[in-house]
A and B are shown apart, each in its own frame.
Chain A
Amino acid sequence: PLSTRCCAPPGAAPAMNCRAEVLEVSVEGRQVEEAMLAVLHTVLLHRSTGKFHYKKEGTYSIGTVGTQDVDCDFIDFAYVRVSSEELDRALRKAVGEFKDALRGSGSDGMGQISLEFYQKKKSRWPFSDECIPWELWTIKVNVVNLANEQERQICREKVGEKLCEKIINIVEVMNRHEYLPKMPTQSEVDNVFDTSLKDVQPYLYKISYQITDSLGTSVTTTMRRLIKDTLAL
């Protein structure tokens, strides 16, 4: 799910009827991964079901989703995630890339990571399948640098408290019981759910991220400004 980009490029506005939620966190560099995982796992906990087993006559049974507690090492915080090593690995890979990009050159420590849930709409050849997002979670991250151990200790606790708030926010959104894709028939299940995992079945999702460059603008904006400034002379 990470690399497939069958539809709109990252940063494009979500489609109509796509719910969009934005969360913001300020963390220390070493807290980025855990904070992102906490949020992503909490969302996916709510957006994953057990594996479907279709039976005759269009009925299906659903497998069981296990859960487990995760303690953070760099944040005074704990969260619950779905018991699925495959899912955890996929998220860690994405978050790892995001963290590396944040640390890379040209970054002033600001960026955002997005988790988008989409449905596939099959099109006829030669057109490729359409991806229609129905829920988009964006986490804006601001990496701070701390000077000493005391500040770090305070940061551990503060970020922990902030994450508690985020979890409550996420649960609030989930509780609105707004649009969810209809439960699919067997032939349609791969258009709604990611059936590639062996123990759980999350809705189809993709993760993307953006890093703000040091000027705080995207490259295209910079170019436009240069040209404008040149012409203004």
Chain B
Amino acid sequence: AMDTDLSSQDRKDLDKFIKFFALKTVQVIVQARLGEKICTRSSSSPTGSDWFNLAIKDIPEVTHEAKKALAGQLPAVGQSMCVEISLKTSEGDSMELEIWCLEMNEKCDKEIKVSYTVYNRLSLLLKSLLAITRVTPAYRLSRKQGHEYVILYRIYFGEVQLSGLGEGFQTVRVGTVGTPVGTITLSCAYRINLAFMSTRQFERTPPIMGIIIDHFVDRPYPSSSPMHPCNYRAGEDNGAVYPSVEDSQEVCTTSFSTSPPSQCVFTVTKAHFQTPPPVVTDTLKVPVMGLAFSHQLSSSRLSYQPAALGVGSADMGYPVLFAGGLNAAHPHQLIGPGKEGGVPPIPGQPAHGTQADQERMCTPLDGVHYSAATPSSSEDTETVSNSSEGKCGSPHDLLETIFVRKVGAFVNKPINQVTMANLDIPFAMFAPKNVELEDNDPMVNPPDSPETESPLQGSLHSEGSSGSSTGNTHDDFVMIDFKPAFSKDDILPMDLGTFYREFQNPPQLSSLSIDIGAQSMAEDLDSLPEKLAVHEKNVKEFDAFVETLQ
């Protein structure tokens, strides 16, 4: 019989070891996904309460959940303890990232000494778990959580369910420990098409649309246990541990702007928004799928706006201009995730708070100076002249954008600046040549508009309706004295002939110049299918925006 070789004391000890091993396993996994660095102290004098001679804290809520899931049982053949790690965006979409499985198989090692060898090997296995939890893709994601997404955990007991991980998931074995009643195995199955949703992807190119769509489906298995955020903050109620999700469009835009070229967000004065607002509206209405390519959508729109200052090419890759601009109109809408991390700011917050948010968002980017952006301009929704003073630099600066890269995922250091070369915008001739001219240029500084709402605000708050939140449709649109290209005007006298001669040799498109940023033509072309897919998906929003044009 199976148990004759195992004394009852040994059996009791073994069961205890396995139980506490399971609890510690859960603690290590969840703590590794909190988004913070973990640090515990070594102690030469044994305290008697440190299981497996390792200093692993016990977060009470986590222990509670684990015990609830186990319900007094131990991992056995066919009954595994699973810790599921998933990601939930501020929009409410979630995606499974990893399943950590603690399983038992029938292979028994009768010879092994329980109280000694098994115990030490379980200790070694926990050390391996500590190491492995830092090398799967979800670790880096979890270190960056709080703004666009949070990381959640769920513990369940029973059959392992891996189908939520998508196709081609990978497995890593943490280790095994043989015991007289079976072999304990600890492994992790993780989604791999997440690997390129890592920080690198957030910072440069958007993830492939199709894959993202797969993920945002209803959970196939109704949770037998509720999901919990890994972001544990001691002292808070269980229910309020992580930020609630808002349904309004603000959520969408917040995410949009803080997506990872968040470092590229800067404030543009309200003035710049006198160019066709529906473009921005359209951008803003894109739901934040994949957190990163909504901005790609807008950047492709940017290319159709040659008159938009400073940015004339989709190769910018980042929606900086528009994100910033909206901030100018309604600072609280875009910038900053809120003080508590993850809570999207709602309209009505004082500008000060938002400005602090904006500055806080920019703080990691020490030393970065955004052209055309100063904190003062974010508060300025009043007159255009004030905001133009807030602009720093000449139009020349406006054509230059400073891109920053994060030095590293985990580093709290000033970011190396990478300055992009001057952008050659189409119709560069018509860009204001110097500051004075710009101040007078109605395209840059349109006549004072009512300071209440920008057209964006209206579209932002209404689901396709044309009313602004104040209900005053007259304020939605401001007439621009639009000067068609190459027409004669006071600033740049030009006739058709001169125009033709000047533009025999147009400035090089930034998309064709090699020294512009990190994106190459090839990358652009590669991203076209995704862009198209995004557009296709958002047909409704496009239709709505077309409506607003009528």
Chain A positions near chain B (C-beta within 8 angstroms): 42, 45-46, 49-51, 53, 61-69, 71-76, 78-80, 82-84, 149-150, 153, 156-157, 163-164, 167-168, 170-172, 174-175, 177, 183, 198-200
Contact = CB atoms under 8 A, between A and B. Distances in A.
B175 A175 contact: yes
B43 to A, nearest CB: 4
A163 B408 CA distance: 15
A174 B127 CA distance: 10
Interface of B: 37-47, 50, 53-55, 116, 121, 124-125, 127-128, 130-132, 134-136, 139-140, 143, 172-177, 199-200, 405, 407-411, 413, 416, 418, 518
B140 A76 contact: yes
A168 B132 contact: yes
A65 B55 CA distance: 6
B75 to A, nearest CB: 18
Contacts of B50: 64
A92 B347 CA distance: 51
Given A80-B130, A150-B518, A177-B121, A64 B409 contact: no
A204 to B, nearest CB: 18
Contact of A66 (B40, B140, B176, B405): B40
A79 B121 CA distance: 21
Contacts of B124: 46, 174-175, 177
List the 4 shortest-distance A-B pairs measured between CB atoms, nearest first. Answer: A71-B410, A175-B175, A164-B135, A68-B39
Contacts of A71: 37, 408-411
A156 B408 contact: yes
A73 B411 CA distance: 6
B42 A168 contact: no
A72 B408 contact: yes
Contact of B42 (A80, A175, A183, A199): A199
A46 B408 CA distance: 27
B43 A199 contact: yes
A205 to B, nearest CB: 16
Q: Which of A61, A174, A175 has the most CB of B within 10 A?
A: A175
Contacts of B411: 71, 73
Nearest to A82: B42
Nearest to A53: B46
7 contacts: A63-B43, A68-B40, A69-B134, A83-B39, A167-B131, A167-B132, A168-B132
A64 B53 contact: yes
A45 B130 contact: yes
B130 A83 contact: no
A45 B408 contact: no
Contacts of A177: 121, 124, 177
Q: Which of B116, B127, B131, B177 has the most CB of A within 10 A?
A: B131
A145 to B, nearest CB: 18
Contacts of A79: 131, 134
B358 to A, nearest CB: 26
Q: Which of A66, A84, A198 has the most CB of B within 10 A?
A: A66
Contacts of B127: 45-46, 67, 174
A200 B407 contact: no
A62 B46 contact: yes
B398 to A, nearest CB: 24
Nearest to B140: A76
A96 B125 CA distance: 30
Contacts of A174: 124, 127-128, 175
A69 B38 contact: yes
A177 B175 CA distance: 10
A175 B139 contact: no
A75 B408 contact: yes
Nearest to B178: A177
B53 A62 contact: yes
Nearest to B137: A164
Given A67-B54, A79-B131, A167-B134, 17 more contacts: A46-B127, A50-B42, A62-B53, A64-B46, A64-B53, A65-B53, A66-B41, A67-B38, A71-B408, A76-B410, A80-B38, A157-B200, A167-B135, A168-B172, A170-B131, A198-B44, A199-B44
A119 B116 CA distance: 21
Contacts of B143: 78
Contacts of B407: 73
Contacts of A153: 405
B37 A63 contact: no
Contacts of B38: 67-69, 80
Contacts of A83: 39-42, 55
B44 A51 contact: yes
Given A71-B411, A83-B55, A76 B39 contact: no
A68 B518 contact: no
Contact of A84 (B37, B42, B131, B135): B42
A200 B43 CA distance: 8
Contacts of B132: 167-168, 171
Given A73-B413, A76-B140, A171 B53 contact: no
Given A157-B200, A164-B135, A66 B55 contact: yes
Nearest to B45: A63
